[in-house]
Amino acid sequence: MQTAGYTEVILKELQTVLSSIEDSEADKMVEALLASKKIFVAGGGRSGFMAKSFVMRLMHIGLDPYIVGETVTPNLDADDIFVVASGSGETQSFVAMTEKARKIGAIVAAVTINPDSTIGKLGDIVVEIPAQAKAEGDSGKSIQPMGSLFEQSLLLFFDAVILKIMEKKSLTSQTMYGRHANLE
């Protein structure tokens, strides 16, 4: 298959997955992000890269976001939100973090393939991204390897959340650009 053909299939897969996300859960996440004092986001591997891009945009919007595990990340408090991106919803390090966030009293937003997973069951807000999990391999849900469809969907979902927040706060790209790094 030609590269353009693969791209076309990937775009169709993304459209199918993203059109299946429940707006009500996404809206709950937007409201919780706006109501929280600080925002903590966790994800591993490629999902972690998507989490970092989300945190960058949250900062551009003027919120107070952090990547869990960075040296400058402050403590999580009860008036904060913990957003955890885990395809399987069973990654042990993220299960432990999610349990701790619940114990502290923070809102937990789980973004996962599997809402019935340990992390999904711990979430106050559960956004299901019905993509292929890494372990499903050649399940037929995607021509892409491992968790690629989830990770791509995660990035686009997070960008859609940013757009919803921009709309609620009447922000433009120009307003956000004023918070962009300028030390280069």
User: Which residues form the catalytic set?
Assistant: 151
Give the pair of three-digit tokens for residue 79.
């008036």
Q: In the chain, what's the furthest Cα-to-Cα distance?
A: 51
> ∠ CA 8-49-6 to the nearest 5 degrees?
15
- Residues 29, 85, 41, 62: what is their CA dihedral angle, to the nearest 10 degrees? -50
| Contact between 112 and 128 (Cβ < 8 Å) | yes
CA distances (Å), 65 to each of 34, 39, 57, 80, in order? Answer: 11, 4, 9, 10
Sequence-distant (6+) residues with CB within 8 A of 89 are: 110, 112, 113, 114, 115, 116, 117, 118, 119, 120
Tokens of 72: 């400058």
CB 97 within 8 A of CB 42: yes
Measure the CA–CA gap between 183 and 4, rounded to whole angstroms: 37
